[in-house]
Amino acid sequence: MILILLRWAYDERLIDEYPRGIAKIKAVRQPTRAWTVEQCCTAVKWSRSWRGKRFRCGADKGEFMECWLRLGYATGARYSDLMKLRREHFDGDRLYWAQNKTKNPINKVLPPETMAAVHAMLARSPDGRVLGWACNKRWAMRLMKKLLTECGLSGSSKWLRRSAATHVEKKRKGAAKVFLGHKTDGLAERNYIDWGQIQRHCPQPPRLVEQ
């Protein structure tokens, strides 16, 4: 776009030199990190210690955090989509919704533990939303940060999506893209998969041990 403007400026004699090109700046991309299955389980287990603590609206903080963790991991959904999920999006253990970002229709089959957490939140929901009724984004992010600090994990709520994608890819190559509902090839591989976890199960060269 800059080159187009510069060439137009040259044609209009607003600049004296014809633009030859613009150097591309290569961004330094850090390796993607995600939680292991064991670390995800640790976060879920820790959330139960918060049961009995309540928001002003009456929602149980422990139930809210467990549902967020389980539902976010099982679906790989973004935070904005999770908070908009409603009772009518569920049919038995199946979940149907359209992603807010891509508008792609997504459906998932959820494990019993996740559905139990969803039902616990819906039992108290005043408007049919699973999570969004309990608190706003500011408080939700504060709670997530506090929980992760207490159970000794780094990262943020975004790591739920990364972790789920990584564990799906570990089971079958190429499955992360479908799981996340991406349209763009390579996006999951570049930005969502923790290759350190997957490479741990790949064949390794022989150890260089002195004889």
Q: Where are the domains of the chain?
A: 37-157
What is the Rg, in whole angstroms, of the alpha carbon atoms belonging to the chain? Answer: 23
Q: What is the pLDDT of residue 202?
A: 80
Q: Residue 4, Cα to own-chain centre: how many angstroms?
A: 37
Q: Is the confidence at residue 97, as pLDDT, over 80?
A: yes
pTM: 0.83
Q: How far apart are CA 181 and CA 199, in angstroms?
A: 24
Q: Is the confidence at residue 189, as pLDDT, over 80?
A: yes
pLDDT confidence tier of residue 88, bands split at 50, 70 and 90? very high
Q: What is the pLDDT of residue 200?
A: 82
Q: What is the mean pLDDT of the chain?
A: 93
Fold of 37-157: hpI Integrase; Chain A (1.10.443)
Q: What is the pLDDT of residue 21?
A: 73
Q: What is the pLDDT of residue 150?
A: 96
Q: What is the pLDDT of residue 2?
A: 84
What average pLDDT does range 120-143 have in this prediction? 96
Q: What share of the chain is helix, strand, coil (3-state, %, to 5)?
A: 50, 10, 45
pLDDT confidence tier of residue 62, bands split at 50, 70 and 90? very high
Q: Is the confidence at residue 172, as pLDDT, over 90?
A: yes
Burial call 151-181: b when 16+ CB within 10 Å, e when fewer: eebebebebbbbbbbbbbbbeeeeebbebbb
pLDDT confidence tier of residue 24, bands split at 50, 70 and 90? confident
Structure tokens belonging to residue 36: 């292991």
Q: What is the pLDDT of residue 135?
A: 95
Q: How far apart are CA 30 and CA 40, in angstroms?
A: 22
pLDDT confidence tier of residue 4, bands split at 50, 70 and 90? confident
pLDDT confidence tier of residue 48, bands split at 50, 70 and 90? very high
Q: What is the pLDDT of residue 183?
A: 85
